[in-house]
Structure 1
Amino acid sequence: MDLSNRTVLIVGGTSGIGRELARRFAAAGSTVAVGGRSPEALSELAGEGFGTISIDVTDSASVASARDAVLARYPELDTVVTMPGIMLLEDLRDPAHFEAAATTIDTNLVGTIRVIDAFTPHLVRRGAGTFITVTSGIAFLPFPPMPTYAASKAAVHAYSEALRAQLDGTGVSVVELVPPAVATAGQEKVNPHALPLDDFATEVVQLLSEDPTPREILVKAALMHRWAERDGTYDDLVAQRSQALAMLPSREG
């Protein structure tokens, strides 16, 4: 994928990985707009020269309004990165976890579908373009304290595969980005061994720039997660990661 001269929308890009990807696309010569909910973050991004769009992926009317605003301002839009994601701890022994589970699915999975549905007709009409979905290494190697996060990202992986198959022949490609633990504000608290954001973004840009573009963008640190079952390490790794259940408030002490 040539990262220059593209017109890119990054939904969920107001912080962390999304914000850094916005900067990398812009540095490569692309026009970049960022969508999100935080007025403060959007204002900061506007100050950096990015286009900004207010969007709440859990609200269909907000998504439709954002789509109309984006396409009015950027009629040549050819790349949509959809990465809404919230990570919530859940203790499955407590039925009160359900609210967190429902919120996670509505944001991470259904939110992704809402965004894809909003922009598919435009990209298909163009006859060329790219969706970049964002899953997680946790989609392939669950982190037990965050069960619905893992499930939602596994679902986005399966959805991405089906979307790619259905869009075959339209000129619209589907690329799945599979981050491992990356040292953003949230991950630093959970995993002190998380990959530095700058290193991650550099490797992602290198992989995205390959010709042909890989269907899955797997930095080296994500390979352990993606291929755990194939490599026969899955059970041992899940057992290791299950030790983190001690971080749940109800299981402390």
Structure 2
Amino acid sequence: MDITGNTVFIPGATSGIGLALALALRKRGNTVIIGGRRTELLDKIALEHPGVDTVRIDTADPDSIQSAAKDVLARHPELNVLITMAGIMSAEDWHRPETFLDSAERIVTTNLLGPIRLIAAFVEHLQTRPDATIMTVSSGLAFAPLKMTPSYNASKAAIHMLSESLRLQLADTTVRVAELEPPMVQTDLMPGQADSEHAVPLDAYIAEVMSIIETQPETTEIQVEQVKFLRYAEARGDYEQVVAVLNGMAPHGN
């Protein structure tokens, strides 16, 4: 995608990577619409960042997605970029169903069904734009698993393969499919992650992402250097070692 001149909707952008990316894109001359469940956070963002539009959306609720999509397209018919940012992560113990099933269902609903439903709500519109992008958000954990987060790992692996498949299907349209693949970043996604010495500082991560978008506008996978340790473990032939290191040194992942 181009670095500027877009109209971008980012559901799940009231904090963390989503908010930081939204503000960085706004500074580069894009029109940005932030979506989230909590209206008080949306109101605060709109007040602190004039020019950023907001819309309430719960990406775990199909009706909310449809309603928000109608609202966004009515107010911003020039929309040409959708970034499916919303996601949740939880530690799980799969030895007994009562310790993981509820969490697993919530994660799959938010992290996988949410993006699927969002794409369904916008894909026809995006095909009418001369230059459009769907940006999915997977994770380094799509390629090497963190023991404590099975459902999260699986949901992000599914997003990776969904992105690969959509890129093939939409190749005959004006819609590009790009996949953002974060490593562990200093956010509040998991307890303690914001202060982890193993996590990439949020500002540094966003700066590197913006540089990749600017210098490699045709890239299909947006990978900062730190995520490549996980992303290419199998290709390098050191997958088992990478998994061991990941689960030995990093209590949390992104």
TM norm structure 2: 0.93
Aligned match of 2:5: 5
Contact 1:128 1:170 (8 Å CA) reproduced: no
Aligned match of 1:100: 103
SS in 1 for 2:219: coil
Gaps of 5+ in 1: 248-253
- Tell me the matched-pair count: 247
C-alpha displacement at 1:187, in angstroms?
4.8
RMSD of aligned alpha carbons: 1.7
Aligned match of 1:250: none
Gaps of 5+ in 2: none
Aligned match of 2:207: 202
Equivalent residue in structure 2 for 1:192, among 197, 202, 224 = 197
Instruction: From the superposition, tell whether residues 38 and 144 of structure 1 become closer, same or farther in structure 2 (CA, over 3 Å).
Output: same
Deviations, residues 89-116 of structure 1 (Å, cap 9, x unaligned) = 1001121111100110000000010001
SS in 2 for 1:33: strand
Contact 2:146 2:246 (8 Å CA) reproduced: yes
Aligned match of 2:65: 63
Contact 2:229 2:242 (8 Å CA) reproduced: no
SS in 1 for 2:5: coil
Deviations, residues 33-83 of structure 1 (Å, cap 9, x unaligned) = 001111222111111121001111111110000000000000000101001
Find the aligned partners of 1:2 and 1:148 in 2 and give their Cα distance.
33
2:181 pairs with 1:178: yes
Equivalent residue in structure 1 for 2:54, among 34, 52, 56 = 52
Amino acid at match of 1:231: R
Equivalent residue in structure 2 for 1:235, among 240, 243, 253 = 240
Find the aligned partners of 1:211 and 1:230 in 2 and give their Cα distance.
22
SS in 1 for 2:116: helix
Amino acid at match of 2:139: S
2:27 pairs with 1:27: yes
Equivalent residue in structure 2 for 1:213, among 208, 211, 218 = 218
Deviations, residues 148-198 of structure 1 (Å, cap 9, x unaligned) = 000000000000111111111211000000000000123571443100001
Instruction: From the superposition, tell whether residues 133 and 72 of structure 1 become closer, same or farther in structure 2 (CA, over 3 Å).
Output: same
Deviations, residues 119-155 of structure 1 (Å, cap 9, x unaligned) = 0010112243000101000111111100100000000
2:161 pairs with 1:158: yes
Contact 2:89 2:190 (8 Å CA) reproduced: no
Find the aligned partners of 2:11 and 2:179 in 1 and give their Cα distance.
15
Instruction: From the superposition, tell whether residues 69 and 155 of structure 1 become closer, same or farther in structure 2 (CA, over 3 Å).
Output: same
Aligned match of 1:75: 77
Equivalent residue in structure 2 for 1:86, among 55, 71, 88 = 88
Deviations, residues 188-243 of structure 1 (Å, cap 9, x unaligned) = 71443100001000000011112442100000001001001111221122223344
Identity %: 43
TM norm structure 1: 0.93
Find the aligned partners of 1:30 and 1:241 in 2 and give their Cα distance.
36
Equivalent residue in structure 2 for 1:140, among 121, 137, 143 = 143
